């Protein structure tokens, strides 16, 4: 590649990743506002947001090129992936028990069977 150095290519790739990640975060925000029910909003708040964060962090890693910063960014991504999954599961379960979930929109409803049997998620009474 005559006249183009690796740093310039990495800067362009970084900019693209930052922009695409920002678009994913914007889509997540629009989904939270526009979607009709709680489970759809919860899905919109977790899935595109985590993908957007991963793209933004990848763009930052390409731009900064510092191993110490890379370790922090990797920690942020791992922490976000773990907490978003757990928190969305807890919100969905609590909202289902509180009656805020539209059951007519569910394809499979395994939690109702557990709740009517008086069992918790481990199968204990």
Domain boundaries, the chain: 6-116
pLDDT on residue 18 = 97
Q: Which residues of the chain have pLDDT under 50?
A: 124-125
Decide: pTM greater than 0.85. Answer: no
Closest by Cα among 84, 96, 85 to 121:
96
Backbone angles phi, psi at 34, to 5 degrees: -95, -25
- For residues 64 and 84, what is the distance between their CA atoms, to the nearest angstrom? 26
What separation, in Å, do the N-terminal and C-terminal C-alpha atoms of the chain show? Answer: 68
pLDDT on residue 118 = 64
> CA 53, 55, 57, 59 torsion: positive or negative?
negative
pLDDT on residue 105 = 78
């Amino acid at each position: 590649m005559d006249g183009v150095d690796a740093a310039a290519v990495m800067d362009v790739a970084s900019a693209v990743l930052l922009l695409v990640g920002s678009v994913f975060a914007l889509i997540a925000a629009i989904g939270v506002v526009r979607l009709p029910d709680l489970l759809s909003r919860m899905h919109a708040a977790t899935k595109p947001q985590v993908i957007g964060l991963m793209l933004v962090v990848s763009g930052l890693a390409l731009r900064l090129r510092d191993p110490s910063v890379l370790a922090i960014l990797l920690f942020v991504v791992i922490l976000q992936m773990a907490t978003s999954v757990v928190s969305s599961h807890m919100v969905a379960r609590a909202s289902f028990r509180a009656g805020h979930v539209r059951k007519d929109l569910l394809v499979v409803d395994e939690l109702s069977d557990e709740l009517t049997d008086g069992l918790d998620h481990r199968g204990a009474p």
